[in-house]
């Protein structure tokens, strides 16, 4: 139910916007150049150069020359395409008139592992998706993957205290949201609500979120959507470039940094390499009025890749390592039931200590290794085969406060090894119908490392799966394209588990699932496009949902599985509208979605329990039939040449069909307004950007009654400011950014935070970021 105050809040925010738009300017810059063949440098006649966010572009002449006028000082995503070529997308920064040539592969289009989300007419035509480019990632420097994505409409954050966050897409999270890291399914014990993805967002310069049931293309775990961190394209020509980043953060009194170097090989056209490393070091976070004790962060990561590519062959080898140590809020671990009840009812944590950078138990550590090898070959001029192998190793420990000096011994020690293999053939059938077909396989083994002295939370297991899919595209006209696809997958789970009397049991579960998808992409006119998708999806239960039993230290909760759970089966429909009006001054991206999930599995509160290690809330895995629907939208309005306004909002309604009540732990309605201003040049400086953001998260009034340990917290309102400026420096470009969040240090608790029972969320934070790009990356 919508409370009466909401319309007045929205109207008040909207009324303030025009008052800030006091300055005027004109968008007078032009982008021009040539579109050329990448090999013989011949001009490509009548190539298309298109700026999607503005809905405007140009068609090159017979000499491949193009020109787009009336551009403002900003960064744009430019799509360049030509019949028979591989389309490319580039980020182009406009600070004045710019001459820029584009080079296309004038051969059969090449399939890369991540092109399924490129904004091209022949890939997943009906799926709703959002993209975070390099500029958006620069502005959000220092944030984890979940925080970074929660700025997108339809994406929320499920958190466990101030340092751990996981993305929620259209109300679905955890094992229902698949993460692709460099094109490989991320497998890093993601079953835990406090198991943040073990990957470094800085290893990519573009992140795409597919908001829809995508099991046909990606297999299980894609009921809610897919998050794709895309690899930076390797250089193909000689020359070296790189970048250095530095970050300082007030809340946590720490910071971080990263470095990247890349280049080609002289005399070896098509060879490229890249190396990258990063680190982050933070102490305790602080809420308004007190320290959130034992919430420090340590992170380090590194990656390297080398590859070769020409018009017929391609090969890439990639390796990454990521390590994280996180403190778990000390106040979430409580000694007895009375203190637990008092802590939930109290306005402050029961344990508050002085600020420190030290991390003590309870804490968790994780290391993740990823090795990827890929090879592609153009079988014919119009067909290409790509084979990919991935190996992942995840080493995870969780530490509790234990007696007799045993706090340094992990209470949970897991080793997860995963092998994945994929082969995809992109093909044409006749002159118009085209698509892809592929097979994929996964072999995974999870082992509990002896020596913890504690009964394992989840048992040892082995999981194997194999699947095959086909997706075909049917262009009916220049304005309408249809898509249809199907997938069949079989999975096997073998478990080794000890009962309470130390009897070894070996349960076996087998699952066979199928998925279908139908999609359409309709170009209503040049600047307006609609996407439609209807798809089925599936997800076998994870071993944690079947066999968890005991204290999950990272979540400070007792979790209990249900061995009788079956596969989730979902059907989801989405309608997506993207368009621009008023000569590109008004842009709208809106999505409607609805889904039904039979056998929906979730953690339901089930009282409290006193153990020898303290008192903890109990959560039990249970299944129901769920019905979800909602909407999210982004509206961008160019007020003047410099000033613009953006409003984003999302809502999700979710019902438990069996219990006839609202579904537990769904994101509350939210809306944010941002006013932005940009200046092209200020002396030697350029691209000055200023913004102010007002975000309102409403109280979750659609929560089940009497299920949770406490009522949903009140809604909250946060204000933020940001500024960024850049300038040329030497052979590169220097960018300085400053971001302030929760500037009035408001005290609040978020319904999607598992630790909201014990403490407020983080207070005021100030982040300073510096980035210097040089050489080929400048």
What are the pLDDT digits (tens) for 443-477?
Answer: 999 999 998 888 888 999 999 999 999 999 998 98
Number of Cα atoms under 13 Å in the Cβ half of residue 266: 2
Contact in structure between 243 and 220 (CB atoms under 8 Å): no
The pLDDT of residue 461 is 96
Q: Is 761 helix (H, G, I), strand (E, B) or coil?
A: coil
656 vs 537: CA distance, rounded Å: 19
Question: Do 70 and 208 belong to one domain?
Answer: no
The pLDDT of residue 150 is 85
- Boundary of a domain, candidates 81, 106, 131: 106
pLDDT in tens, 53-73: 676 788 777 677 888 888 887
Summarize the chain as % helix, strand, coil (round to 5).
10, 55, 35
Contact in structure between 595 and 572 (CB atoms under 8 Å): yes
What's the domain count of the chain? 2
DSSP-derived secondary structure for 258-273: EEEEEEEETTEEEEEE
pLDDT in tens, 726-766: 998 988 899 999 999 999 999 999 999 988 989 999 999 99
Long-range contacts of 653-657 (CB under 8 A, 24+ apart): 653/628, 653/629, 653/702, 654/171, 654/626, 654/627, 654/628, 654/702, 655/626, 655/627, 655/628, 656/624, 656/625, 656/626, 656/704, 657/624, 657/625, 657/626, 657/627
Bridge partners of 314, per DSSP, are 309, 376
The pLDDT of residue 123 is 52
24 vs 38: CA distance, rounded Å: 41
CA dihedral 105, 107, 108, 109 (to 10 degrees): 10
Is 96 a residue whose pLDDT tops 70? yes
529 vs 348: CA distance, rounded Å: 50
Quickly state the pLDDT bin for 111 (edges 50, 70, 90).
very low
- Token digits of residue 144: 């984890």
Q: What is the DSSP letter of 382?
A: S
Residue of 365, 363, 355 whose CA lies nearest to 254: 355
- Boundary of a domain, candidates 74, 106, 138: 106
375 vs 309: CA distance, rounded Å: 10
The pLDDT of residue 345 is 77
Question: Do 99 and 166 belong to one domain?
Answer: no
pLDDT in tens, 568-598: 999 999 999 989 898 888 999 999 999 999 9
Question: Do 276 and 318 belong to one domain?
Answer: yes
Contact in structure between 365 and 325 (CB atoms under 8 Å): yes
First to last CA, the chain: 50
Higher confidence at residue 623 or residue 204? 623
Question: Do 80 and 150 belong to one domain?
Answer: no
Residue of 433, 421, 423 whose CA lies nearest to 382: 433
Question: Do 478 and 566 belong to one domain?
Answer: yes
Average the pLDDT over 291-320 and give the result: 93
Contact in structure between 670 and 153 (CB atoms under 8 Å): no
For the chain, give the longest Cα–Cα distance.
Answer: 81
Burial class (CB in 10 A: 0-12, 13-18, 19+), 326: buried
Q: What CATH number should be reported for the domain holding residue 50?
A: 2.60.40.1120
Question: Do 555 and 491 belong to one domain?
Answer: yes
634 vs 88: CA distance, rounded Å: 25
Higher confidence at residue 290 or residue 106? 290
Residue of 402, 389, 367, 243 whose CA lies nearest to 316: 389
DSSP-derived secondary structure for 162-199: SS-EEEEETTB-GGGEEEEETTEE--S-TTSTT-----
The pLDDT of residue 453 is 85
The pLDDT of residue 127 is 77
Is 366 a residue whose pLDDT tops 80? yes
- Boundary of a domain, candidates 64, 83, 106: 106
Q: Which residues lie closer than 8 Å to 68 by C-beta, 6 or more apart?
A: 30, 31, 32, 49, 51, 56, 57, 58
Q: What is the DSSP letter of 478?
A: S
335 vs 401: CA distance, rounded Å: 11
Counting every residue, how long is the chain? 778
Contact in structure between 205 and 104 (CB atoms under 8 Å): no
pLDDT in tens, 499-512: 888 899 999 999 99
Q: What CATH number should be reported for the domain holding residue 602?
A: 2.40.170.20
Question: Do 40 and 122 belong to one domain?
Answer: no
CA distances, 567 to each of 172, 175, 488, 602, 621 (Å)? 16, 12, 14, 13, 13
β-pairing, 177-181 with 184-185? antiparallel
Quickly state the pLDDT bin for 47 (edges 50, 70, 90).
confident
Question: Do 157 and 96 belong to one domain?
Answer: no
450 vs 456: CA distance, rounded Å: 9
Question: Do 655 and 753 belong to one domain?
Answer: yes
How large is the C-alpha radius of gyration of the chain?
26
pLDDT in tens, 229-241: 877 778 877 889 9
Range of the domain at 40: 2-106
565 vs 26: CA distance, rounded Å: 61
Q: Find where tokens 């794709």 sit.
A: 228
Where do the DSSP E strands lie in 288-347?
290-292, 297-309, 313-327
DSSP-derived secondary structure for 622-664: EEEEEEEEEEEEEEEEE-SSSEEEEEEEEEEEEEETTTTEEPS
Is 541 a residue whose pLDDT tops 70? yes
Q: Is 602 helix (H, G, I), strand (E, B) or coil?
A: strand
The pLDDT of residue 703 is 95
In the chain, count of helices (H) and strands (E)?
Answer: 6, 43
647 vs 587: CA distance, rounded Å: 11
338 vs 354: CA distance, rounded Å: 25
Residue of 637, 610, 690, 8 whose CA lies nearest to 339: 610
Q: 632 — phi, psi (to 5°)?
A: -145, 150
Quickly state the pLDDT bin for 778 (edges 50, 70, 90).
low
254 vs 297: CA distance, rounded Å: 9
Question: Do 88 and 123 belong to one domain?
Answer: no
The pLDDT of residue 41 is 61
DSSP-derived secondary structure for 572-592: EEEEEEEEEETTTTEEEEEEE
Question: Do 195 and 227 belong to one domain?
Answer: yes
DSSP-derived secondary structure for 83-105: TTS--EEEEEEESS-EE--EEE-
Quickly state the pLDDT bin for 394 (edges 50, 70, 90).
very high
713 vs 749: CA distance, rounded Å: 6
Q: What is the pTM of this model?
A: 0.83
Contact in structure between 58 and 126 (CB atoms under 8 Å): no
Is 650 a residue whose pLDDT tops 90? yes
Is 9 a residue whose pLDDT tops 80? no
Q: Which residues lie closer than 8 Å to 683 by C-beta, 6 or more apart?
A: none
CA dihedral 314, 210, 595, 546 (to 10 degrees): 70
Question: Do 124 and 58 belong to one domain?
Answer: no
The pLDDT of residue 311 is 76
Where do the DSSP E strands lie in 187-239?
204-210, 225-231
Tell me the percentage of the chain whose pLDDT exceeds 90: 49
Most confident of 5-14, 121-130, 352-361: 352-361
Average the pLDDT over 374-384 and give the result: 88
Q: What is the DSSP letter of 237?
A: S
Burial class (CB in 10 A: 0-12, 13-18, 19+), 348: middle
Residue of 767, 776, 777, 699 whose CA lies nearest to 247: 767
Bridge partners of 624, per DSSP, are 600
């Amino acid at each position: 139910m919508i409370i009466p105050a909401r319309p007045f809040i929205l109207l008040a925010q909207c009324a303030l916007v025009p008052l800030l738009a006091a300055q005027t300017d004109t968008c007078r810059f032009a982008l021009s150049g040539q579109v050329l063949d990448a090999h013989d440098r011949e001009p490509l006649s009548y190539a298309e150069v298109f700026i999607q966010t503005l809905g405007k572009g140009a068609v090159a002449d017979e000499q491949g020359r193009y020109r787009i006028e009336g551009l403002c000082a900003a960064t744009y995503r430019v799509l360049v395409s030509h019949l028979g070529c591989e389309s490319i997308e580039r980020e182009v920064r406009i600070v004045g008139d710019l001459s820029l040539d584009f080079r296309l592969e004038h051969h059969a289009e090449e399939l890369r592992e991540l092109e399924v989300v490129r904004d091209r007419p022949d890939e997943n035509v009906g799926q709703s998706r959002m993209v975070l480019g390099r500029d958006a990632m620069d502005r959000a420097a220092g944030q984890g993957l979940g925080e970074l994505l929660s700025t997108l409409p339809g994406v929320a954050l499920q958190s466990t205290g101030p340092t751990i966050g996981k993305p929620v897409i259209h109300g679905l999270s955890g094992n229902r949201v698949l993460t692709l890291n460099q094109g490989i399914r991320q497998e890093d014990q993601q079953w835990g609500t406090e198991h943040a993805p073990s990957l470094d967002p800085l290893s990519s310069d573009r992140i795409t979120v597919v908001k829809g049931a995508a099991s046909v293309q990606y297999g299980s775990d894609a009921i809610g959507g897919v998050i794709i961190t895309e690899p930076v394209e390797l250089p193909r020509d000689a020359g070296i470039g790189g970048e250095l980043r530095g970050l300082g953060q007030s809340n946590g009194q720490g910071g971080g940094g990263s470095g990247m170097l890349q280049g080609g090989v002289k005399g070896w056209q098509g060879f490229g390499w890249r190396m990258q490393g990063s680190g982050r070091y933070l102490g305790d976070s602080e809420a308004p009025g007190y320290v959130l004790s034992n919430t420090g962060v340590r992170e380090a990561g590194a990656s390297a890749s080398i590859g070769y590519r020409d018009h017929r062959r391609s090969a890439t080898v990639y390796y990454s390592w990521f390590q994280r140590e996180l403190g778990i809020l000390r106040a979430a671990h409580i000694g007895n039931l009375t203190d637990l009840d008092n802590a939930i009812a109290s306005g402050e944590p029961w344990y508050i200590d002085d600020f420190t950078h030290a991390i003590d138990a309870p804490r968790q550590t994780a290391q993740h290794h990823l090795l990827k090898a890929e090879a592609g070959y153009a079988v014919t001029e119009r067909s290409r085969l790509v084979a990919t192998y991935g190996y992942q190793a995840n080493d995870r420990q969780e530490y509790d406060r234990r007696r007799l000096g045993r706090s340094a011994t992990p209470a949970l020690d897991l080793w997860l090894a995963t092998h994945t293999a994929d082969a995809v053939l992109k093909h044409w059938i006749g002159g118009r119908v085209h698509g892809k077909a592929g097979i994929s396989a996964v072999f995974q083994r999870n082992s509990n490392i002896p020596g913890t002295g504690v009964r394992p939370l989840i048992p040892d297991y082995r999981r194997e799966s194999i699947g095959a899919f086909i997706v075909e595209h049917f262009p009916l006209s220049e304005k309408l394209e249809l898509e249809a696809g199907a997938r069949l997958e079989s999975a096997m789970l073998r478990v080794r588990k000890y009962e309470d009397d130390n009897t070894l049991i070996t349960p076996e579960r087998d699952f066979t699932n199928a998925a279908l998808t139908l999609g359409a992409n309709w170009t209503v006119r040049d600047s307006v496009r609609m996407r439609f998708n209807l798809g089925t999806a599936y997800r076998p239960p994870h071993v944690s949902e079947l066999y968890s039993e005991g204290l999950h230290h990272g979540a400070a909760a007792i979790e209990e599985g249900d061995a009788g759970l079956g596969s989730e089966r979902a059907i989801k429909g989405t309608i997506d509208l993207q368009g621009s009006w008023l000569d590109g001054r008004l842009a709208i991206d809106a999505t409607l979605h609805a889904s039904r999930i039979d056998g929906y599995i979730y953690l339901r509160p089930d009282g409290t329990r006193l153990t020898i290690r303290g008192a903890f809330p109990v959560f039990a895995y249970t299944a129901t039939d769920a019905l979800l629907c909602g909407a999210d939208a982004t509206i961008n309005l160019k007020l003047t040449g410099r000033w613009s306004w953006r409003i984003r909002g999302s809502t999700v309604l979710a019902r438990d069909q069996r219990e006839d009540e609202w579904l537990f732990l769904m994101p509350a309605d939210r809306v944010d307004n941002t006013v932005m201003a940009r200046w092209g040049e200020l002396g030697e400086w350029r691209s000055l950007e200023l913004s102010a953001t007002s975000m309102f998260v409403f109280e979750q009034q659609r929560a089940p009654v009497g299920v949770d340990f406490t009522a949903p917290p009140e809604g909250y309102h946060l204000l933020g400011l940001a500024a960024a400026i850049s300038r040329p420096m030497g052979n590169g470009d220097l960018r300085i950014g400053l971001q302030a969040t929760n500037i009035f240090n408001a005290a609040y608790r978020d319904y999607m935070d598992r630790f909201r029972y014990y403490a407020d969320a983080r207070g005021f934070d100030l982040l300073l970021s510096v980035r210097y790009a040089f050489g080929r990356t400048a």
